[in-house]
């Protein structure tokens, strides 16, 4: 019988031996190899996802282009796939609608986001920062369908009132690119703010100290030294935010309207690429019809746009990272 | 000049605060009056006063759970590979670019992928309504007996027409009398011997008595689905929805896990290796435990995103009018954001109010999720030095 005092010591030793490095080299390399294989498999899954997205979109777009010519699709200025005797499948009204909403969102969010980021990193005292950062995080966590609701019941009436006040007429309708754009702007504001702030904070303190030593005010330092130094990071945040705006679905499906038209007036209603897809997938268009297939082609164009934007953002961010490391 | 700029900055910063305040205020004003326990307990209805949110609430919980169960292991494993094992070469670089690209793909595009890959499975297994492979379910042919009650007869597949004679066994649903005299249909099916009667002869309608014309072909087929029942293709089911959301949040999980692993000091890894631990032991006993709080925080944020996504679920073509809580992986479902979208897109004021109440429920669910994240962070976080 081992004594009570020996028992725990023995156990710990046994435990240590049992949990240690496997003695057998073969077993060890087998273990490492298996786990490594599993990890590689998981990493490969992301490549599979990309391949499938590109493959499916390319295949379905090709099927759509058997019914509608490429030239009509890519150069047509009329998008009228559901109604009327003569249906038109020119993508430009959808692209213009998407860009108009994105432009409104960008005009709203990019300057405000940058100024907020400057304020948070250069001016705000720690206690104020501790309040403002969580508020922005909450804003970032709100589902987009909630912003869509907000656009309909708050932003649209506000813009309608403003329109009446300025022009004396009913300029804004129940649906408008402007209302959707502002809601999208509020949605992307936290993205711009947090990424830009990261970029601004990454600027070495030495640069600021140098500017102060040369007699600059805080304003001069922030605007003429810190922001230019962080410019590539800020640009990357802008591009990422714009990517999100281009791909945003629920807000525009609720608030931007359903009429695909070529317009640059924010009080008109527009249909974006994503809103068109919602219309098709929610409606009961037969899965064999041209209009159903067209939504895949629209998705293909959308994917291409966001792909280029993300890629550009990634390249800029890489350059920015190299600068201070 | 300097002071003026600071004040302008503060004013502009407050726009974000103002936006959040307006947003929450408008939702609370429109939605709070409708908030009640019965709203959470009721199913969808065309009459606004009787509509509730039970089906989407449970649908969201199911879908988010499936999404978490799949996305977390795959995402963390990918991050571990990229941060701890991958060599610094062109291929690794390509992997990284690919993941940041996936993070930028609009969620509606993932919906299209989910529709083709999970809901339809490229059409390889036949149409959704008549799946080619079914595992684990019990198939029944449905007849109506002379009382008009449904009668089930077990069959092996949807294509089989059972030959019924007098004396064959059918199953009839057990009905209980409720406390207020209403009938409660139970899930209990009791066997009953069938009596086939000729159309010409007179007979009194009774349970199990069925006319000869009605036994020629079943009215419909029904599948009793235990939770492990699987069909190929998945169709518009909870599993397809959860997997589609998994695609949406996977890049987010990977990127946040990578950041978590990167935040573990190099000295910890070096110390472990110097003690003779293998790479694998270092990862599982040192690096992962040290970064778990951050990984969990990122994971919860990703799950919040999954709960709030409507676009990919919408593309799958899920039914808008669900009056049951999912019981198995292969049941129809809807999610909170879809129901909110549906209510918001209707012109009537009453449905707008319902949407606001639904948003309150959604935000409470998200809040609960984030509270769990904070708890986990506190429970697991240990100082690294």
Report the residue from A31, A56, A123 with minimal CB separation from B9. A123
Report the residue from B80, B276, B304 with minimal CB separation from A21. B276
First to last CA, chain A: 62
* Rounded distance between C-alpha atoms, residue B117 and residue B244, angstroms: 9
- Convert the pLDDT of each residue in B105-155 to its tens digit: 999 999 999 999 999 888 888 888 778 788 877 888 888 887 777 888 888
Q: Is residue A316 part of a domain?
A: no
Among the listed residues B170, B174, B186, B318, the one whose alpha carbon sits nearest the alpha carbon of residue B244: B318
Instruction: Give the structural domain span for A141.
Output: 93-281
* Rounded distance between C-alpha atoms, residue B209 and residue A222, angstroms: 88
Put simply, the chain A residues between 84 and 103 with a CB less than 8 A from any chain B CB are none
- Strand A88-89 and strand B133-135: the pairing is unpaired
Among the listed residues B372, B337, B373, the one whose alpha carbon sits nearest the alpha carbon of residue B358: B337
CB B53, CB B358: distance < 8 Å: yes
* Rounded distance between C-alpha atoms, residue B130 and residue B313, angstroms: 22
User: How do the domains of chain B map onto residue ranges?
Assistant: 37-123+236-380, 138-224
Q: Is residue A18 part of a domain?
A: no
CB A91, CB A109: distance < 8 Å: no
Can you tell me which residue has the tokens 């009938």? B183
Phi, then psi, of A256 in degrees rounded to 5? -90, -15
Tell me the average pLDDT across A49-73: 93
Pull the structure tokens for residue B248.
């949406």
Burial, B349: exposed, middle or buried (Cβ in 10 Å; 0-12, 13-18, 19+)? exposed
Q: Is residue A133 part of a domain?
A: yes
CB B313, CB B236: distance < 8 Å: no
Put simply, the chain A residues between 224 and 253 with a CB less than 8 A from any chain B CB are 240, 243-244, 246-250, 253
3-class secondary-structure state, position B19:
helix
Q: Which residue has the higher pLDDT, B157 or A252?
A: A252
Q: Is residue A219 part of a domain?
A: yes
Phi, then psi, of B60 in degrees rounded to 5? -60, -40
Q: Please report, in tens digits, the pLDDT of each residue of chain B (385 residues total).
A: 778 888 999 999 999 999 999 999 999 999 998 888 888 888 888 788 888 899 999 999 999 999 999 999 999 999 999 998 888 889 999 999 899 899 999 999 999 999 999 998 888 888 887 787 888 778 888 888 877 778 888 888 777 788 877 878 888 887 777 777 677 777 778 888 888 888 777 777 778 788 877 777 888 888 877 778 888 888 889 999 999 999 999 999 999 999 999 999 999 999 999 998 888 889 988 999 889 888 988 888 899 999 999 999 999 988 777 878 888 888 889 999 999 999 999 888 889 999 999 999 999 999 988 888 778 777 776 655 4
| Residue in chain B lying closest to A220 (CA) | B2
3-class secondary-structure state, position A293:
helix
Quote the minimal CA–CA distance from B22 to chain A in Å.
8
- Convert the pLDDT of each residue in B16-74 to its tens digit: 999 999 999 999 999 998 888 888 888 888 788 888 899 999 999 999 999 999 999 99
CB B81, CB B288: distance < 8 Å: no
Among the listed residues B126, B108, B307, B138, the one whose alpha carbon sits nearest the alpha carbon of residue B221: B138
CB B9, CB A118: distance < 8 Å: yes
Phi, then psi, of B191 in degrees rounded to 5? -70, 145
Burial, B7: exposed, middle or buried (Cβ in 10 Å; 0-12, 13-18, 19+)? exposed
Q: Is residue A61 part of a domain?
A: no
CB A101, CB A151: distance < 8 Å: no
Query: ipTM of this predicted complex?
Result: 0.89
3-class secondary-structure state, position A205:
helix
Q: Count structural domains, chain A.
A: 1
Which chain A residues are closer than 8 Å to B363 by Cβ?
A: 142, 146
Q: Is residue A118 part of a domain?
A: yes
pLDDT on residue B152 = 84
pLDDT on residue B99 = 93
Find how far residue B372's CA is from the centre of its chain: 19
Longest dimension (CA), chain B: 103
First to last CA, chain B: 46
Q: Is residue A137 part of a domain?
A: yes
Can you tell me which residue has the tokens 């699709």? A73
Q: Is residue A24 part of a domain?
A: no
Report the CATH architecture of B37-123+236-380.
Orthogonal Bundle (1.10)
| 3-state class percentages of chain B: helix first, strand second, coil last, to nearest 5 | 55, 15, 30
CATH of the domain at A99: 1.10.3720.10
Pull the structure tokens for residue A74.
């890519």
């Amino acid at each position: 019988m081992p004594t009570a005092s020996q028992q725990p010591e023995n156990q710990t030793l046994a435990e240590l031996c049992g949990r240690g490095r496997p003695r057998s080299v073969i077993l060890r390399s087998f273990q490492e190899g298996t786990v490594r294989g599993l990890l590689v498999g998981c990493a490969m899954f992301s490549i599979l996802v990309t391949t499938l997205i590109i493959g499916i979109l390319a295949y379905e777009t090709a099927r759509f282009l058997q019914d509608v010519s490429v030239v009509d699709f890519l150069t047509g200025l009329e998008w009228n796939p559901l109604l009327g005797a003569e249906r038109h499948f020119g993508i430009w009204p959808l692209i213009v609608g998407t860009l108009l909403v994105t432009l409104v969102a960008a005009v709203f969010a990019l300057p405000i986001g940058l100024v907020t980021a400057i304020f948070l990193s250069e001016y705000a005292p720690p206690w104020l920062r501790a309040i403002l950062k969580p508020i922005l995080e909450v804003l970032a966590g709100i589902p987009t369908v909630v912003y869509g609701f907000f656009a309909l019941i708050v932003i649209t009436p506000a813009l309608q009132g403003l329109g009446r006040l300025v022009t004396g007429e009913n300029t804004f309708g129940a649906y408008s690119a402007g209302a959707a754009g502002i809601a999208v702007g509020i949605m992307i504001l936290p993205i711009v703010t947090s990424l830009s702030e990261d970029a601004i904070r990454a600027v070495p303190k030495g640069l600021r100290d140098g500017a102060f030593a040369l007699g600059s005010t805080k304003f001069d330092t922030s605007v003429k030294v810190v922001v230019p130094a962080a410019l590539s990071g800020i640009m990357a945040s802008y591009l990422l935010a714009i990517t999100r705006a281009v791909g945003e679905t629920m807000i525009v499906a609720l608030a931007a309207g359903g009429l695909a038209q070529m317009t640059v007036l924010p009080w008109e209603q527009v249909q974006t690429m994503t809103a068109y897809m919602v219309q098709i997938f929610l409606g009961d268009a037969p899965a064999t019809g041209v209009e159903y297939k067209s939504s895949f082609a629209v998705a293909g164009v959308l994917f291409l746009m966001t792909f280029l934007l993300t890629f550009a953002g990634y390249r800029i961010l890489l350059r920015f990272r190299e600068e201070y490391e | 000049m300097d002071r003026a700029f600071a004040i302008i900055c503060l004013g502009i910063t407050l726009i974000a605060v103002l936006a959040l305040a307006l947003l929450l205020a408008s939702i609370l004003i429109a939605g709070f009056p409708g908030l009640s326990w019965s709203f959470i307990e009721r199913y969808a209805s065309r009459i606004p006063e009787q509509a509730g949110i039970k089906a989407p609430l449970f649908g969201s919980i199911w879908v988010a759970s499936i999404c978490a169960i799949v996305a977390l292991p795959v995402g963390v494993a990918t991050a571990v590979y990229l941060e701890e094992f991958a060599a610094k070469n062109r291929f690794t670089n390509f992997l990284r670019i690919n993941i940041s690209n996936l993070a930028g793909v609009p969620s509606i595009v993932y919906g299209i992928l989910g529709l083709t890959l999970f809901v339809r499975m490229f059409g390889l297994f036949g149409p959704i309504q008549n799946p080619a492979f079914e595992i684990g379910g019990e198939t029944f042919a449905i007849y109506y007996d002379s009382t008009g009650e449904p009668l089930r007869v077990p069959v092996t597949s949807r294509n089989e027409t059972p030959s019924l004679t007098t004396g064959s066994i059918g199953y009839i649903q057990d009905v209980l009398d409720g406390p207020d005299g209403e009938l409660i249909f139970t899930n209990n099916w009791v066997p009953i011997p069938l009596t086939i009667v000729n159309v010409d002869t007179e007979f009194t309608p009774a349970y199990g008595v069925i006319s000869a014309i009605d036994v020629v072909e079943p009215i419909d087929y029904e599948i009793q689905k235990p939770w492990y029942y699987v069909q190929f293709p998945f169709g518009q089911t909870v599993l397809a929805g959860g997997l589609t959301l998994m695609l949406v949040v996977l890049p987010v999980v990977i990127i946040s896990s990578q950041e978590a692993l990167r935040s573990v000091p190099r000295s910890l890894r070096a110390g472990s290796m110097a003690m003779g631990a293998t790479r694998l032991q270092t990862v599982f006993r040192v690096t992962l435990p040290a970064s778990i709080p951050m990984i969990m925080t990122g994971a919860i944020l990703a799950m919040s995103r999954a709960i709030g996504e409507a676009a990919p679920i919408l593309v799958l073509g899920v039914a808008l009018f669900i009056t049951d809580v999912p019981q198995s992986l292969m049941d129809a479902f809807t999610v909170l954001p879809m129901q909110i979208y549906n209510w918001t897109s209707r012109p009537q004021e009453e449905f707008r109010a319902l949407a606001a109440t639904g948003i309150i429920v959604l935000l409470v669910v998200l809040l609960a999720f984030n509270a769990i994240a904070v708890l986990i962070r506190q429970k697991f976080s240990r100082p690294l030095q």
